[in-house]
Each structure stands twice: as structure tokens, then as C-alpha cells.
Amino acid sequence: MKIESTVLNRRVAKAVGSYWSTRQSQSAKQASSGQRDQGARSAVTGGAQMDGFIGLITELILETGIKQKHIFYNTALELPGFFRPTKEWDLLVVQNGQLVLALETKSQIGPSFGNNFNNRTEEAMGSALDLWTAFREGAFNKTVRPWLGYIFMLEDCDGSRRPVKVKEPHFKVFPEFVNASYAKRYEIFCRKLVRERHYNTAAFLTSDQTAGLNGKFDEPAEDLAFLQFAKSLVAHVSAYSD
């Protein structure tokens, strides 16, 4: 299955527009009910913002020949863990008793980038560690290694682009983090997730709230572009097409 970059970019733009419109409608609904979450927390607790990306990934999987009955994205998303009983993923492909694919999607908007950065990174690292340890212990599959993917979208704004100081009271931090913005930190994080083989591949996108409603997005790093992500995913699941 060949992926045409121009067509894929239009599909990603549609998912980005869905993200911002969903967030906007959820925030408006909470405000009208008088129960608006503090700060930007409504963008986290509302859920469903990344459904456009889940839909896109589902379409790509179906286009490889995998049947709908093997794809799970609304229910039955739990996988056994090693450090905890279960972990709920955003999308799974399970075929003939084998875990083929597990996907995690996350996002962050301002203004509290500092408060949420560590939470996001710890969640992603912990989820991967839990899955691979459970895999090693035979919780699912025997020898077939599942494909694990991570998609992250960050708000493009002054707060995410501004250099951030690091505290070094005892030891020096790694040089790539010195004066790195939160956007750069997330880029580094996604790249290291792949290099350390916690995830097979990762996609990192940034988008402005206003232009994002029209689907505008940026990809700061070529190796974390959605096209590379999609090619890796399709190459893996194509081997399991019905």
C-alpha cells in the first residue's frame, strides 16, 4: 500500500481541525454550564479531542486489508500490565489472539506547559515499560512483537516556543535540554522514545489554536513527521491483512 504525502497531509489537517473544534465546543459547553475547569484543564478532561487522529489511523489500517472486527477504538481497549492490572490504550488491533498494534495519543495546550510536561512524559514512558514487561512475561503473544505508536500534538504559541531555564543544583542536565523550549523538549522526548525502542515510531505535531481550526499544523522534525509514522504503521499491519 502506497501512501501519497499530499493526500495524507489533507487527512492530517482534517484531524487537526477536528481537534480544535472539539476542544472549542467542549470548553464552550463547560462555560455555559458554569462548571468550567480551571485554566486549560477542560482540554484534558473533556476527552475526544484526538478522535480525528484515531479515525485517521483506523482508516489507514482498514486500507491495508485488516477487517474492522480486529480494530478497537471505543471499547475493549484494556491490555494487561505488569506493574498494574490493566492499561487502557487509545486504539488496538487484535487478530487471532495476537496483539498486532497499540496506539497512544496525547496533546497539550497552554498555559501550564511546565505543570504538565513531566506528567505527559512519565505517562508515555510508564505505559511503554508496562506493556513491554507484560509482553516479556507472556501476557499476550508468544514471539510476535506488537507495534507500539505514539502521537503527540502541542499548541503552537509563545509559551511553548519560549526557551526554558533548567535547574542544576547538583549535576548538569544533558546539553540538548539547556534553554530548550517546551516544543523542543517534546520533540526530543518523542525522538528518544523511538531511539530507546519504547515505541516503534512517534509523530509530533504543533498547531496554533486559530489557524488550527482550519487544519493548519507544523511538523518541527522530519523524523517525527506523520508520513513516517504512517509508513511504519502500514508496513507492520499489512503483514496481518485478511
Please report which confidence band the pLDDT of residue 110 belongs to, taking 50, 70 and 90 as the band edges: confident
Please report which confidence band the pLDDT of residue 126 belongs to, taking 50, 70 and 90 as the band edges: very high
- Above 50 in pLDDT, residue 44? no
Check residue 35 and give its pLDDT: 61
- Above 70 in pLDDT, residue 28? yes
pLDDT (tens digit per residue) in 192-205: 999 999 999 999 99
pLDDT (tens digit per residue) in 140-191: 988 889 999 999 999 999 999 999 999 999 999 999 999 999 999 999 999 9
- 3 state SS for the chain: CCCCHHHHHHHHHHHHHHHHHHHHHHHHHHHHHCCCCCCCCHHHHCCCCCHHHHHHHHHHHHHCCCCHHHEECCCCCEEECCCCCEEECCEEEEECCEEEEEEEEEEECCCCHHHHHHHHHHHHHHHHHHHHHHHHCCCCCCCCCCEEEEEEEEECCHHHHCCCCCCCCCCCCCHHHCCCCHHHHHHHHHHHHHHCCCCCEEEEEEECHHHHCCCCCECCCHHHCHHHHHHHHHHHHHHHCC
Check residue 149 and give its pLDDT: 98
- Above 90 in pLDDT, residue 87? yes
- Above 70 in pLDDT, residue 38? no
Check residue 1 and give its pLDDT: 80
